[in-house]
């Protein structure tokens, strides 16, 4: 398999974690988002959205959208550690937590949006950071409350990492990079710390990627 990604992309980071949890080997092809490589015709031929990640499977399929890719890996390799619980209610809870991050927090704070705030809307750096931190705190406040459930264990759902943790850790990394104050989220921080103790998460971190700077 081949993964087209960028070392700081939260979405690509999620897929790297999922691949590592599954113990799957992948060839990585860096796409320099900061330089605009995602807008070039060659990459647009892989993904018309001009977004990473793109996973090219052993069968030649090209898959996009990180959560869809993670669920593909879970279905394609079911004998390996599961990213979703076995019960329907558990799966729904994990998907809900994952989507809170991937669909509610991240889209408001990704590179395209921050670039638009600075470029077209001509906001200064302070205003951009205020925007970023506001939406992180909105999402993390809700997530912290949801993690107060008895279904939460060492990880977001029970005592094994799931798709929810796969989404959480990259978002925590980005929040830390933008100096968000996370003191109000002890459960969230504890879960992220537990995840980072696992090789699957540690080796997926931006610092360990071939295009890291």
Neighbours of 93 (CB within 10 A): 21
Domain ranges of the chain: 2-81, 88-200
Residue 56, classed as helix, strand or coil, is: strand
Same fold, 2-81 and 88-200: no
- CATH number assigned to the domain with residue range 88-200, chosen from the 4 options 3.40.50.10860, 3.40.190.10, 1.20.1050.10, 1.10.275.10: 1.20.1050.10
Backbone angles phi, psi at 2, to 5 degrees: -125, 130
Class of domain 2-81: alpha beta
Residues in the chain: 213
Q: What are the residues facing 4 on neighbouring strands? A: 29, 54
- Cα–Cα distance, 58 to 165 (Å, whole number): 26
Token couple for 123? 């906001």
- Cα–Cα distance, 213 to 15 (Å, whole number): 20
Q: What is the pLDDT of residues 45-95, one digit of tens each?
A: 999 999 999 999 999 999 999 999 999 999 999 988 999 999 999 999 999
- Cα–Cα distance, 86 to 69 (Å, whole number): 19
- Cα–Cα distance, 125 to 57 (Å, whole number): 40
Cβ within 8 Å of residue 27, ≥6 positions away = 1, 2, 3
Which stretches in the chain have pLDDT values below 70?
none
Percent of the chain that is helix, strand, coil (3-state, to 5): 55, 10, 35
The beta-strand segments (E) located in 26-182 are 27-30, 54-56, 62-64
């Amino acid at each position: 398999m081949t993964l087209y990604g960028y070392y700081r992309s939260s979405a690509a980071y999620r897929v790297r974690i999922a691949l590592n949890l599954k113990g799957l080997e992948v060839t990585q092809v860096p796409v320099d988002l900061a330089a605009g490589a995602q807008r070039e015709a060659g990459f647009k031929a892989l993904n018309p959205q001009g977004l990473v990640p793109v996973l090219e499977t052993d069968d030649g399929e090209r898959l996009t959208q990180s959560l869809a890719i993670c669920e593909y890996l879970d279905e394609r390799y079911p004998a390996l550690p599961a990213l979703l619980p076995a019960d329907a209610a558990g799966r729904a809870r994990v998907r809900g937590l994952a989507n809170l991050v991937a669909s509610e927090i991240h889209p408001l704070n990704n590179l395209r949006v921050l670039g638009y705030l600075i470029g077209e809307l001509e906001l200064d750096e302070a205003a951009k950071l205020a925007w970023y931190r506001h939406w992180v705190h909105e999402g993390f406040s809700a997530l912290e409350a949801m993690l107060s459930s008895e279904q939460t264990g060492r990880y977001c759902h029970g005592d094994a990492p799931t798709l929810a943790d796969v989404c959480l850790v990259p978002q925590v990394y980005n929040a830390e990079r933008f100096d968000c104050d996370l003191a109000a989220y002890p459960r969230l921080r504890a879960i992220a710390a537990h995840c980072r103790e696992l090789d699957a998460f540690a080796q997926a971190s931006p610092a360990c990627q071939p295009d890291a700077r």
